[in-house]
Homo-oligomer: A and B are copies of this chain.
Amino acid sequence: MQLFYCPDINPDQIYTLGKEESQHLVKVLRQKEGDKVHLTDGLGNLFEAEILEANPKSCIIKVVNTQEEYHKRDYYLHVAIAPTKNIARIEWFLEKATEMGIDEITPIICQHSERENTKHERLEKIIISAMKQSLKAYMPKLNTPTPLLEVIRNSSETKKLIGYCVGENRNQIKDIYKPKESVLIVIGPEGDFSEKEVEEALKNNFQTITLGKERLRTETAGIYVVNIIHSINQ
């Protein structure tokens, strides 16, 4: 199955695919009039459509079947993570997290940040590509880089966790997170969070978590927490 992303599709009307998608569908996949194609709006809808006109520049289709809330999760997973110096590493996180399943990603700006800017459009493209490849109908929300303290103070998730490398009283995710809880997990830069940042998080009802005995890179830590939350919810 190949999935196309059409955020502006209206299932009640005929729809014309963009140039790139039309070309891919007609030239590369060699689909013809009457063939079926799958599309999503990234909002949870999986559409099955029929090709009315296999034009390689503007392919016309009509939705014939809609699956709403396709593979909807009953928990909300939000990861706020410090962009890495080598941006390829955080791009890799976006790809893998989308594939594994994530609802929201916030790049954060911390005291020890190695990088504060990201190319939003480029990152969004990576998410879209991963969403299509892994057949998701929900597109993860990607926020623009936000100061950590703002994220900490404005978060509304039920469970709020912050990964921290120092201290004795850190929790394991599996001991404090319960299935179906909405959760925000904050992952810091290579230089870790500052003490002040952790204090501020604790004041705002965050709990510190350990990410295991190994020294993980930022993006690896991000993937680790995504896996653990899914595993607990399985």
- Complex Cα distance, B172 from A136, in Å, reads 22
- Of B71, B173, B215, the residue contacting A135 (CB under 8 A) is B215
Which of B92, B96, B220, B231 meets A99, CB within 8 Å?
B220
Instruction: Decide if A216 is an interface residue (CB 8 Å cutoff).
Output: yes
The answer, yes or no, to whether A150 is at the interface (CB within 8 Å) is no
Q: Which of A71, A223, A234 has the most CB of B within 10 A?
A: A234
Closest to A219 in B: B96
Q: How far is the CA of A115 from the CA of B116 in the complex (A)?
A: 39
* Residues on the B chain within 8 Å of A215, using CB: 134-135
Q: Is the CB of A99 within 8 A of B214?
A: yes
Instruction: Identify which of B96, B174, B214 contacts A100 (C-beta below 8 A).
Output: B214
Q: A213-B71, A231-B174 are in contact. Are A224 and B100 (CB under 8 A)?
A: yes
Q: Are A100 and B134 in contact (CB under 8 A)?
A: no
8 Å CB contacts to B: which residues of A18-41? Answer: none
Instruction: Note all chain B residues with C-beta closer than 8 A to A230.
Output: 212, 214
Q: Least Cβ distance of A134 to chain B in Å?
A: 5
Contact between A100 and B220, CB atoms less than 8 A apart? yes
Query: Any chain B CB within 8 A of the CB of A101?
Result: yes
Per-residue CB contact flags for chain A residues 147-183 toward chain B (1 = under 8 Å, else 0) read 0000000000000000000000000111000000000
Closest residue of chain B to A96, judged by CB? B220
- Chain B nearest Cβ from A95, distance in angstroms: 9
